[in-house]
Amino acid sequence: MTTAQNLPVLFLTDPIVLPGMVVPIELDESAQAAIDAAQAGKTGAVLVAPRLDEGYASYGVVATIEQVGRMRGGAPAAVLKAERRARIGHGVTGPGAALWVEAEPVEIGEPDDRATELAAEYKKLVVAVLQRREAWQIIDIVNQLDDVEAIADTAGYAPYLSNDQKRELLETPDLTARLTKQIEWITAHIAEVEVTDKISEDVRDGMEKSQREFLLRQQLNAIRKELGEDEPDGADDYRTRVENTDLPEHVRAEALREVGRLERASDQSPESGWIRTWLDTVLDLPWTVKTEDSTDVSAARAVLDADHHGLDEVKDRMVEYLAVRSRRAARGLEVVGGRGSGAVLVLVGPPGVGKTSLGESVAKALGRKFVRVALGGVRDEAEIRGHRRTYVGALPGRIVRAVKEAGSMNPVVLLDEIDKVGSDFRGDPAAALLEVLDPAQNHTFRDHYLDLDLDLSNVLFIATANVMDTIPGPLLDRMELITVDGYTEADKVAIARDFLVPRQLERNALTAEEVSITDAALREIAANHTREAGVRQMERLVAKALRKAATRLAAADSAVAGADSTPSGGSPLETGDVTAGDMTLGYDPSLGYDNVVDLDSRATAPNSAAPTPRATAEAVPVGVESAAAAAASSTTLIVDIDNLTDYLGRPRFTPDSVERTAVPGVATGLAVTGAGGDVLYIEANAAEGERSLTLTGQLGEVMKESAQIALTYVRSHLAEIGIEPKVLDRNIHIHFPAGAVPKDGPSAGVTMVTALVSLALGRQVRGDVGMTGEVTLNGRVLPIGGVKQKLLAAQRAGLKTVFIPARNEPDLDEVPAEVLAALDVRPVADVADILAYAIEPIAEPAVDGERFAVTA
Between the alpha carbon of residue 502 and those of residues 10, 76, 224, 488, 511, the distances in Å are 115, 116, 58, 20, 8
The catalytically annotated residue of 492, 747, 758, 788 is 747
516-538 core/surface letters (b: 16 or more CB in 10 A; e: else):
bbeeebbbbbbbbbbbbbbbebb
351 is in an annotated binding site: yes
Does 350 show up as a binding residue in the annotation? yes
Active site residue 790: yes
397 among annotated binding-site residues: no
CB 733 within 8 A of CB 806: no
- Cβ-based neighbour number of residue 730 at 10 Å: 15
Indicate the length of the chain as a whole number: 856
Q: Are 125 and 190 in contact (CB under 8 A)?
A: yes
Cα four-point dihedral sign 255, 257, 260, 266: negative
Residue 492 annotated in ligand binding: no
Q: Are residues 710 and 668 in contact, defined by beta-carbon separation less than 8 angstroms?
A: no
Task: Judge whether 332 is annotated as a binding position.
Answer: no
Q: Could you give the CA distance from residue 180 to residue 122 in angstroms, rounded to a whole number?
A: 9
Query: Which candidate, 513, 504, 487, places its Cα nearest to that of 548?
Result: 504
Distance CA 831, CA 834 (A): 5
Q: Kindly calculate the radius of gyration of the chain based on its CA atoms and give it in whole angstroms.
A: 51
DSSP 639: E
Catalytic residue among 123, 315, 369, 790: 790
Burial class (CB in 10 A: 0-12, 13-18, 19+), 625: exposed
DSSP 333-400: ---S--TT--EEEEEE--TTSSHHHHHHHHHHHHT--EEEEE-TT---THHHH---TTSTT----HHH
Name the burial class of residue 490, with classes exposed (0-12), middle (13-18) and buried (19+) by CB atoms within 10 angstroms of its CB: middle
* φ and ψ at residue 804, rounded to 5 degrees: -130, 160
DSSP code at position 462 = E
177 and 110 in contact (C-beta within 8 Å)? no
356 known member of a binding site? yes
Q: Rounded to an integer, what distance in angstroms lies between the CA atom of residue 56 and that of residue 49?
A: 8
Q: 347, 396 in Cβ contact below 8 A?
A: no
C-alpha to C-alpha distance for 461 and 438, rounded to whole angstroms: 10
| Per-residue 3-state assignment (H helix, E strand, C coil) for 254-293 | HHHHHHHHHHHCCCCCHHHHHHHHHHHHHHHCCCCCCCCC
Q: What 3-state DSSP class applies to 414?
A: strand
End-to-end CA distance of the chain: 143
Count CA atoms closer than 13 A to 614's CA, side-chain side.
Answer: 4
Q: Please check if 15 is assigned to a binding site.
A: no
336 is in an annotated binding site: no
Residue ranges for the binding site?
A: 349-356
Catalytic residues: 747, 790
Residue ranges for the binding site for ATP?
A: 349-356
